[in-house]
Amino acid sequence: MEGTSKTPLEEFIELYSQIKDKFAELPTVLTKLSTYSDDIVKTNNDLKSENDDLKSKLKAAEDKFNKLKAEHETKDQSIEEALKDANQYKIKLESVEEQMKGLREMYEEVSQERAEEIEIQDLLAIYTILFEKVFAGNPHTKILLLLQGVDKEEWTRDEIVKTTGFSPAAVIRALHDLRNSDIVETDDSATTAKLLKKLG
């Protein structure tokens, strides 16, 4: 049995709800990405500095050991200390390199989140095209875009009629539909209207 097809208004309300959800996700995504980026850059700089320092100390320890060995020093204790220093720095260097490996994995995770952010932006672009091309002649869309896009909280019915070019009856009907869908606030006579919540 075929399902009941959605009316243009139902499709419009569903689309508008999806856009609100996606806009609501953007601040969380951007804040999370910003926090990750700041922490990762700082950690990366700290680890790089420590890594360079350990490499320098390791080289100095190895040079000391090689010098002692080349001069045929018989001071076993000095040789053992040089070897001990070299081994300690080597262990620390391996630890730093392991942390840097984890840091690279974090970069990959952030890159994935950036890709998800781009997907959200692409999806919003598609929704915008749908609004402009598919629902452009719909009074609901015209009214919604008017209330959303202008820095004015409340509009009178006459202002909406004059701006959108639709008849008063069409405007009243559309405002009632949007009110019933919890998108706009208006009275029974639809004398004034405003969005319950603007996107962004």
On whether both 104 and 154 belong to a single domain, the answer is no
On whether both 96 and 170 belong to a single domain, the answer is no
On whether both 18 and 90 belong to a single domain, the answer is yes
On whether both 148 and 192 belong to a single domain, the answer is yes
Report d(CA 174, CA 146) in Å as an integer.
Answer: 13
On whether both 103 and 61 belong to a single domain, the answer is yes
CATH code, domain with 158: 1.10.10.10
Look up residue 41 and give its two tokens: 């850059």
pLDDT of residue 115: 60
Q: Cβ–Cβ contacts within 10 Å for residue 135, how many? A: 20
On whether both 47 and 101 belong to a single domain, the answer is yes
The 10s digit of each residue's pLDDT in 136-186 is 567 888 888 888 876 788 899 999 999 989 999 999 988 998 888 888 899
Question: Tokens 């909406």 sit at which residue?
Answer: 160
Of 142, 138, 144, nearest to 17 by C-alpha is 144
The 10s digit of each residue's pLDDT in 29-45 is 667 766 766 666 677 67
pLDDT of residue 192: 93
CATH code, domain with 7: 1.10.287
Domain residues for the domain of 169 are 137-200
On whether both 55 and 83 belong to a single domain, the answer is yes
Q: State the amino acid at position 22 in one-letter form.
A: K
On whether both 100 and 146 belong to a single domain, the answer is no
Q: Number of folded domains in the chain?
A: 2
On whether both 145 and 123 belong to a single domain, the answer is no
Q: Final residue of a domain: which of 135, 151, 182?
A: 135
The 10s digit of each residue's pLDDT in 45-67 is 777 777 777 777 777 777 777 77
